[in-house]
Structure 1
């Protein structure tokens, strides 16, 4: 396996990102994560999607820490400060779940409250379903657990084609196109920072094609098992979707009907784009805190 590692100087002086990097080894790969707040507090796990990294959570981490929570935000393999295998064959849906599972087990994390969005939900919901004893609550935003049995919206099909065929793949501009507020040039550059050249973008380009879109997809069976397991989930399960995401808008309703732990909670729909963490970071942190305090 040919492994690329982004030079550390690419991450110097990022705006609103004072956090100290932490590292773990999973299957011979270096995985980066943030670990902020009191170590003896029950942790909140923030899982990013594609093509972002833990920088996405810079507006959520400080208020969660101020509320007394320990907050962990890893970078998926292929993203952020984590190692980036260069070959497309090094990546699969199962591999991403496996790498994150190894990290959870290595740190022996438990009593976790999960916040997940985009590919963070495709991975995070699998983790919660397969290791339910480690999780106390789930907050799902702008994501889901596709099994290939559902029809995918045209906006997602267009995104798959773009990721596969576009001669250029400008990460910062892509993220900016999925927000309501205007990202500054420095913020767009921060999203570009993990990718010095196109050879570092294998995972970013590939992940859209790994979303199960047919019933016989290699990940479909495991996702169906996870969906069934979450149909018996009685711990808190809150949805917090944005109103302006053309791909996932309306996808929260299926979870309200399917998950016992979603009943009787005050589910949220808030203004924002696909990367709602950029638009509503402080509000999302407040919603997570309210859920964990029993106020929703």
Structure 2
């Protein structure tokens, strides 16, 4: 069986590196922190063999994808917008979206915010969790500094 190929696609004002394999209905695979498309290398081949077009981007800020400097360019709205733009670049009306770790958060929100584009969602390692009523930093005053990277 052939190997996944990589290319750069324009989406949502940035360029994403994607690895893709197979033909058929698309399945987007969103990696976690700190990973890359390579985390999905075995699933790309398996999904292609099952008749899907498996696509694993280097998410915004990772791998060969663009890395905007401003931190406000990494909101869930931007990350979901990247996945919607990726579907547009693939000329796909909708897809299954799969996420692992931080990618699961993106997948859950993509399906929540754009059910017209994501007709099925699979989240690995992170369950869907709606926004809490309290700010995370108010719940973790002793660890906020050392745990800041978790406060997404």
Partner of 1:33: 18
Secondary structure at 1:129 match in 2: helix
Structure 1 segment 24-173 matched on structure 2, within 5 A: 24-38=9-23, 41-149=24-132, 161-162=146-147, 164=148
For structure 1, the 5+ residue unaligned runs are: 1-17, 165-205, 212-296
> What secondary structure does 2:105 align onto?
helix
* Structure 2 Cα separation of the partners of residues 88 and 111 of structure 1: 29
Structure with bigger gyration radius: 1
Tell me the CA shift for residue 160 of structure 1. Answer: 7.4
Aligned to 2:59, what secondary structure does the other structure show?
coil
Does structure 2 retain, via aligned residues, the 8 Å contact 1:42–1:69?
yes
**Higher strand share goes to which structure?**
2
Q: Please state how far the C-alpha of 1:114 moved relative to its aligned partner.
A: 2.2
Q: Is the 8 A contact 1:44 1:115 kept in 2?
A: yes
Q: Partner of 2:19: helix, strand, or coil? A: strand
What SS does structure 1 have at the residue aligned with 2:5? coil
Task: Report the CA distance between 1:159 and its aligned residue.
Answer: 9.6
Tell me the distance in 2 between the aligned counterparts of 1:160 and 1:145: 25
> 1:227-258: per-residue Cα shift (whole Å, max 9, x none)?
xxxxxxxxxxxxxxxxxxxxxxxxxxxxxxxx
**Which structure has the highest helix share of the two?**
1
Q: What is the rounded CA distance, in whole Å, between the counterparts of 1:28 and 1:139 in structure 2?
A: 26
Contact 2:84 2:117 in 1 (8 A): no
Q: Give me the TM-score of the superposition, normalised by structure 1.
A: 0.43
Compared CA separation, residues 46 and 89, structure 1 to 2 (3 A): closer
Unaligned stretches of 5+ in structure 2?
A: 137-141
CA contact (8 A) 2:20 2:44 kept: no
- Measured after TM superposition, the shift of residue 31 of structure 1 is 0.9
Normalised by the size of structure 2, how large is the TM-score?
0.77
- Counterpart CA distance in 2 for 1:138 and 1:117 is 11
